[in-house]
Chains A and B, each alone.
Chain A
Amino acid sequence: MSRPTQGRIRPLSPNVQIYRPQLTSVLSIANRITGIVLSIFGVGLVTWLVAAAAGPEVYSAFHDIMASWPGQIVLFGGSFAFFLHLTGGIRHLVWDSGRGFQLGTIYRSGWLVIVASVALTVAAWIASRFMLGVH
């Protein structure tokens, strides 16, 4: 018998360097990453509200940053992160009800999450451009 259990440095599982990603594991970590990303966008939401409360000058400064190309790219990424987290979260709620655990169903719902989040992101941006014209 060697050293006690707690002091030993044990190999980590899964070994991320040689681990072959599957749809299931990629979506699992994606839900977590988008959750962290959306928390940061929550800071953006508060900044927007505080800017609106501060007055027209501060608001237009914030608005100009968001309307710029880098701002729009960040917002586009944020909207995709939102729809991925939303659809992935609904998939989790279905699992919580005890349904959808068959291997085939898990892969089908996984691809549905990807297709739906891409479609919703594109639809939201096309719709927002249309609204911009109407306004």
Chain B
Amino acid sequence: MARRYTGTGKPAPDNRSPFARATGLGSAKTGVEHWWAQRASAIALVPLTLWFIAMLMVHVGSDYATATAWLRTLPAATLMILLLAMLFYHAALGLQVVIEDYVHSSMKFAAIVLIRLVCLVLALAGIVAVFRIALIR
């Protein structure tokens, strides 16, 4: 925060409004990247989720053997890993905006870090499960 030197050895209290303090500083520099990543992951998720819904319909009510035999195929395993990566990336970005809009306490930063960690763990757990199904037995 900018403090003006007054010659008395003590900085003058900053009486400007929050708007005046922010004016001229430019953007926080990271917003544009977040905005683009949200859109790019959204576009990637259109074919990925529609593929998944279609596969869910085809394999609806299928037993363990049928489901795992499908997940073992190369296209299914590859697209499922892509879906998991894009889904939880998109979810982390979206949930971050929800937190930023409604949480104004010191919990905001912790909540965003927690959301990112949970999304990372879920994506990894799903990807490891796909590898396990595809490679073991």
Contact = CB atoms under 8 A, between A and B. Distances in A.
A32 interface: yes
Interface in B26-76: 39, 42-43, 46, 49-50, 53, 56-65, 67-68, 71
Interface residues of B, number: 38
B87 A90 contact: no
Contacts of A65: none
**How many A residues are at the interface, by size bracket?**
35 or more
Contacts of B17: 5
B89 to A, nearest CB: 11
A52 B53 contact: no
A79 B87 CA distance: 15
Interface string A108-126: 0000000000000000100
Nearest to A6: B18
Given A38-B91, A42-B88, A46-B126, A67 B57 contact: no
A38 B41 CA distance: 15
30 contacts: A5-B17, A6-B18, A32-B98, A35-B94, A36-B95, A36-B98, A39-B95, A42-B87, A42-B122, A46-B126, A46-B129, A49-B129, A49-B130, A50-B125, A53-B129, A53-B132, A55-B64, A56-B65, A59-B64, A60-B63, A63-B63, A82-B53, A89-B42, A90-B46, A92-B42, A93-B39, A127-B57, A128-B57, A131-B58, A132-B61
Closest 4 CB pairs of A and B: A49-B129, A53-B129, A53-B132, A128-B57
Interface of A: 5-6, 32, 35-36, 38-39, 42-43, 45-46, 49-50, 52-53, 55-56, 59-60, 63, 67, 79, 82, 86, 89-90, 92-93, 96, 124, 127-128, 131-132, 135
